[in-house]
Amino acid sequence: MEIRAAEPGDVDAAVALHDALVPYLVTTRGALDRRLGRGNEPGRGTFAAVGDDAVLAGWATCGLIAGSDPLDGELRVLVRPEHRRRGIGTRLLEATHANLRAAGATSARVFADPGSVAWAARFGYRQTRQVHYAGIDPRKVPELPEVPSGVELMAAGAVDPRLLYEADMVAQRTKPGDAKISTRPYEDWLAGVWRNPDTVLDLSVAAVYEGRVVAFTLGLGDHTMIWSKMTSTLPEFRGRGLAKLVKAAALHRAAEAGVQGAYTANYDGNTPMIAVNDWLGYHRIATHAVLICPL
């Protein structure tokens, strides 16, 4: 079994592997094409496990958590069930660890099937919490709630990016999670979020009040499937239904655009956002363990 840097020719097999094992994580062909077009670099590695029969048996990716301080990394490792217990997952994990260490990451985070927790513990991983995945057909979302007086709903792409950046920085510092987010330079955010081809700005929504973005939801993906990357309300505007409003509006836009599936994830204990998703009609698909280890 060869473990090597992934290549553009692996894309079709990698998408099929994700669709077979974790379809709710929304891995698109376009996103993988762009990722592999950049090649492997420290803090952004992609690795393939390929057998003598040229079948893709495993796949792993890693990246840095933008704005984290100290610098943290995250990764994903997938191995076909029929190829497990042969050391493939171990070799892929080691490759991602080496890549993250080369970029200066001090820890690695992975969301993993509960059945792999004991295996991951051998490499120093410990569980900190759980994360729940949920999905919905956007066509089945309830009617849009009433828009409060003075609030304007706008497609994220029509908003001044500086305003969205400022709201996102507050969201990143106050969101649940283990990574400690401090700040992210505006130009880095522009490149990584606003200008990222995977960000569906036309299907993302911001609530603007008195010249400020007070709530927003950002999605990733394409116009077939989308992933809810972040939904947040500024602390002083919480409790007014704005998260429900922007997410419902975004899902209505998705339905009109022909999106067939929308997916999201919430940490165990994030009661307000789970309640929003329950109201919208999301159904739970899977639960993973959140695992962290020092590098």
**277 in the same domain as 219:** yes
Q: Which positions of the chain have pLDDT values less than 50?
A: none
Total of domains in the chain: 2
259 burial level (CB within 10 Å; 0-12, 13-18, 19+): buried
Domain boundary among 51, 82, 105: 105
DSSP assignment of 89-103 equals: HHHHHHHHHHHHHHT
| pLDDT at residue 178 in the model | 67
- The two three-digit tokens of residue 276, written as one number: 């929003």
pLDDT for position 102: 97
Asked if residue 161 belongs to a domain, the reply is yes
List the one residue out of 214, 285, 287, 279 whose CA is nearest residue 248: 279
How high is the pLDDT of residue 173? 84
Considering the domain architecture, whether residues 60 and 191 belong to the same structural domain is answered as no
- Would you say residue 274 lies in a domain? yes
Determine the structural domain holding residue 238 and report its residue range: 136-286
Judge if 69 and 202 occupy the same domain. Answer: no
Residue 114, pLDDT score: 93
pLDDT of residue 179: 63
CATH number at residue 44: 3.40.630.30
pLDDT of residue 253: 97
Task: Say which amino acid occupies 111.
Answer: F
Pair 266, 132: CB distance under 8 Å: yes
Q: What is the pLDDT of residue 143?
A: 95
Percent of the chain at pLDDT > 90 equals: 88
What is the pTM for the complete model shown? Answer: 0.90
pLDDT of residue 174: 79
Q: Are 55 and 7 part of one and the same domain?
A: yes
**Confidence at residue 1, expressed as pLDDT on a 0 to 100 scale:** 87
